[in-house]
Structure 1
């Protein structure tokens, strides 16, 4: 995943720590059992610079895993070592109940020659190991950007469809550092991870690595409140989740939004009060761009006005468009305006309405399974809007002047079952970078 914070300042801290390790002025200590293979495989060194309530810089550092820590007997490091989220003792305790039986089954499996019985023993062992892993995961919780604490189980329900995350989730450097920051009211502004140890096929000693997709990709977006796809000193590109406002609405109950979270997480870097350069409907997920500076915001606004921004969406329509004689590719022009008696609905008006131009490509027909288990035929479609009208794609889909087939989960123009979301995702955006003018493209696969 893309590193959520600037790295250069924290990289200097990582290199200082590695230098001290090489000089043996600080040492790595094992706090639990670890295999010889893992002991020689190397670790990630992580550092984070943050600000406290009185604007002082606080330096944090840690190592990956939960069975090692750095010992600084001479106090040579200017900073605080961040301990694992869960200690090795607690993990050992969680595994203890099934550990003996798992080892017994393993010995029996190794000695068994009957294929059917061997498979049955493996199923028994798998059940026990899954139970043990679940107990370990139940120990993990993380302090988040907004002061709330979320359990790993709660996070996995959102980001991993309720499935158990991989072993070691929460033991990487980034979640430890961010958990410590948000638990202690610190605002991170630089974070970096560097590999230290023997070179392997996948990692080189001294090289910077992004937070891993496999584990950190599941939990960091929930800890941060944002899934960062790209960030530099001018702009930030995020993957907005369905159900969250793009910008704050009226009233405290509508304050939480992508824009509010962005200003909170990057408080020192954001120069403007309204950094969002465009919006997505609350129920729509996908790519959204925000600006750090006034100059970047102005340049992005001009790019939108000139038509230099191209966007692509993917939607699931409730039915089969081909049965209506709709061609696989096409473009339409529709006219809509606000229904003043039923806000925020838009209605057809070919006299006073604003023109909405939309290009489409039918991607295929598939079976959609609703949260209640019902199965229906659905059309996956790509939309390329050439204008940016309110609810444009929802209306192109649902209105009788368009396809007359709403997007699945549309609460305004269709039907939404309990637990269902709007199946509309902003998948791709292309625009000239506000600082360099170079054309850049960002893409984020639809989660449905």
Structure 2
């Protein structure tokens, strides 16, 4: 069963649904429907983004409603469960999968500090609020400083099923990269072998050096004299692949000191996992999760 969230276009689960029967503004309509709530409580529900009109979140008190429109109010308990997440936004959830949009600066899983509020720890707490027996498993990780789409499974079997057939089930892995300088060639492909050194830096070689073959496709979205915004498609998913290949291209990812960047005006790594499309492990349907690129990536290349 698909679950809908505050940012979902249609979030009927855990919501009260009402049909509009006469032209009216949103706040008076809610006050009329929520007879057991005070005016201030109704305003709070609006402010917290718990109200949608025909699937679109609305916070304006005077938003005009038309006959036939559908108003959904997400229940407080469901809203509070999501509001507890920090730096994580749920994009999709069903019986076996959860896809999130992770902010830069949030670790995927714990490293040394077991108490750190990682993406995994937060989603684990989130599912346990529904049932203490619930569990989650990380299907793939993002670097701490990379934001974007990240996938969890609700059982170890589903995690293994996806990981063991990752290259077959994943149909798209798209990133947005803000890189230094003007990339002259508007689109291209980088193919090399990547091998990690003892100092944990990944090095690229044009011929087989005993490492892993990596293929990255890129296309310019927009650029100015200082920066280029690239759409990057991964054909393979190796450790630090995009970061290494951008350094090799001569245009390191902004903020990536490890791989050649000398400037960081956005105060983070200029890398974002924009989209992930895969064959659903139980239904066989093609599903696609998308998290739009951060606004400062776009503004830096205008």
Bin for the TM-score computed over the shorter chain? 0.7 to 0.9
Q: Which of residues 90, 108, 112 in structure 2 aligns to 1:246? A: 108
Cα distance in 2, alignment partners of residues 434 and 338 from structure 1: 32
Q: Which residue of 2 aligns with 1:348?
A: 204
Q: Which residue of 2 aligns with 1:446?
A: 293
Q: Which of residues 142, 153, 168 in structure 2 aligns to 1:306? A: 168
Verify the 8 A CA contact 2:105 2:144 in the aligned structure 1.
Answer: yes
SS in 1 for 2:72: coil
Instruction: Tell me, yes or no, if structure 1 residue 382 matches structure 2 residue 228.
Output: no
Cα distance in 2, alignment partners of residues 428 and 330 from structure 1: 19
SS in 1 for 2:242: helix
- C-alpha deviation, 1:307, in angstroms: 5.4
- C-alpha deviation, 1:43, in angstroms: 4.2
Instruction: Tell me, yes or no, if structure 1 residue 169 matches structure 2 residue 15.
Output: no
- C-alpha deviation, 1:289, in angstroms: 0.9
Cα distance in 2, alignment partners of residues 429 and 41 from structure 1: 39
Q: How many residues are matched?
A: 265
Verify the 8 A CA contact 1:336 1:347 in the aligned structure 2.
Answer: yes
Cα distance in 2, alignment partners of residues 280 and 394 from structure 1: 12
Cα distance in 2, alignment partners of residues 418 and 67 from structure 1: 41
Verify the 8 A CA contact 1:330 1:360 in the aligned structure 2.
Answer: yes
Residue ranges of structure 1 left out of the alignment (5+ in a row): 19-35, 47-60, 70-83, 86-167, 175-198, 367-375
Verify the 8 A CA contact 1:270 1:293 in the aligned structure 2.
Answer: no
Higher strand share: 2
TM-score, reference length from structure 1:
0.51
Q: Which residue of 2 aligns with 1:406?
A: 252
Q: Which of residues 420, 428, 435 in structure 1 aligns to 2:267? A: 420
> Measured at CA, do residues 39 and 355 of structure 1 come closer, stay the same or move farther in structure 2, by a change above 3 Å?
closer
Q: Which residue of 2 aligns with 1:278?
A: 140
Verify the 8 A CA contact 2:123 2:136 in the aligned structure 1.
Answer: no
Cα distance in 2, alignment partners of residues 3 and 62 from structure 1: 24
- C-alpha deviation, 1:314, in angstroms: 0.8
SS in 2 for 1:426: strand
Q: 5 Å matches for 1:363-382?
A: 363-366=221-224, 377-382=226-231
Q: Which residue of 2 aligns with 1:234?
A: 96
TM-score, reference length from structure 2:
0.74
Between structure 1 and structure 2, the one with the greater Rg is 1
Higher helix share: 1
> Measured at CA, do residues 236 and 283 of structure 1 come closer, stay the same or move farther in structure 2, by a change above 3 Å?
same
RMSD: 3.7
Instruction: Tell me, yes or no, if structure 1 residue 266 matches structure 2 residue 127.
Output: yes
Instruction: Tell me, yes or no, if structure 1 residue 3 matches structure 2 residue 5.
Output: yes
